[in-house]
Amino acid sequence: MADRKRIALLLAQADEYYQAQFVEGFIGKAFEHNSDVLVFGSYLKYQNNLGRETGETSIFTLVPFETNLSASEIAERLVFTGAVALIHSAQYAEKAQAVHDELLVYHQLFDIYNVYEGLNNLKTVNDHPGEAVSVDKAIIDLLLDCKAYYELTGGRVNAAMGSVLRLWHEAREDGLNDFANAYLPDGEALAQAAEHADWDDVLIDEEKLTVTITDPGLRLDVGAIAKGWSVQRAAETAPEGLLISVGGNVCATGPKDSTGTPWVVGVQDPDGGENYLHTLYLTKGSMVTSGDYQRAYMVDGEIYHHIIDPDTLYPGRLWRAVTVVCPDSGLADALSTALFLLPQDAGQRLLDACESEAMWIDAEGKMYYSAGFEELIRT
């Protein structure tokens, strides 16, 4: 059993260091996990270079009870991008840093809100309609996959719907900053924006590595896919035995040790309870959750989240949360979003086609499972 006083001291030291390094954050509780590691939870609001809050995330990192890592080294694993490699021994620190660095590159390439010196990213593409913008091959590959996921999901996941999503993003940010005057996007503006969401207006030149938006009213927003896609690419070059966590996306590159011991990952309670709804075994592949408790705000007593149904142009209301387990993290991202917006039978057909498993939670908290999902449940 770990020394509780030592845990408390380490938490306090990590918290002090963390506060000094970032805009706002705190280290949450520590608790036992498989009796051999600590879990440090962190909630962090982060700001762009103009000082405006641009998002928030809940992230976790695992370190051994008998770790030699300092409090500052632990805190540094709680990076502001939300990209954390979970390690079970200090020897993986360098490899974990390499994963983080790769994810940070993807974060900048796929960012639609911020400019980075010397870099053409998706904001550059959005800001220059009608121009063939030279981009990194990673952007080409991501957009081709986004287009494929659009077709796979029957349009439920549409990265070309950025003009609609921007209206919701602006309303949500304003509402979070000024609760009393929170508002919904104008319905007519949403309808007009939805007319500019056709992939035929996005020209992707794989040979010249350029992207051209031919409709000035169209904007790309890869938020539903980019996180999982980036994690998958990082996992493909990472050593076995890492668990990579980015927000609601967890990816195992292999068992946690040479004996084949699986990782144990938790399915969060959408109502914010301290206990997981389930813990699952994960040896290789990804677990991704989409839920109505993520990136949400309130208007007139009703909560509006970020998963927008392309048919209604409003947040989907079929489910509270959907958790997908899938061999590919990018596909898992697409599936969790699509299943959140589909009835269970249609979602199950999509799962079957992709050889994946899922768990649904409805408005009353009742849980539904695909046939293979229950085999993954530990508790």
Cβ neighbours of residue 313 closer than 8 Å, sequence gap 6 or more: 164, 187, 190, 191, 194
Q: Distance between CA atoms of 145 and 285, rounded to whole angstroms?
A: 18
The residue among 226 and 40 whose pLDDT is bigger is: 226
pLDDT for 109-149, tens place per residue? Answer: 999 999 999 999 999 999 999 999 999 999 999 999 999 99
pLDDT for 199-253, tens place per residue? Answer: 999 999 999 999 999 999 999 999 999 999 999 999 998 888 888 888 778 999 9
pTM for this one? 0.78
Q: Distance between CA atoms of 156 and 177, rounded to whole angstroms?
A: 29
Structure confidence at residue 18 as a pLDDT band (50, 70, 90): very low
* Domains of the chain, CATH where assigned: 122-213 (1.10.3980.10)
pLDDT for 65-87, tens place per residue? Answer: 334 444 444 444 433 223 333 33
Cβ neighbours of residue 273 closer than 8 Å, sequence gap 6 or more: none
Structure confidence at residue 92 as a pLDDT band (50, 70, 90): low
Least confident of 94-108, 156-170, 309-323, 332-346: 94-108
Give the pLDDT of residue 217: 98
Q: Distance between CA atoms of 306 and 371, rounded to whole angstroms?
A: 29
**Helix (H) / strand (E) containing 49:** none
Q: Distance between CA atoms of 377 and 379, rounded to whole angstroms?
A: 6
Give the pLDDT of residue 360: 98
Give the pLDDT of residue 93: 59
Residue where the block lists tokens 């641009």: 54
Q: What distances in angstroms separate CA 123 from CA 65, 112, 113, 290, one per listed residue? A: 43, 4, 6, 24
Residue where the block lists tokens 């849980």: 367
The strand pairing partners of 322, in sequence order, are: 290, 360
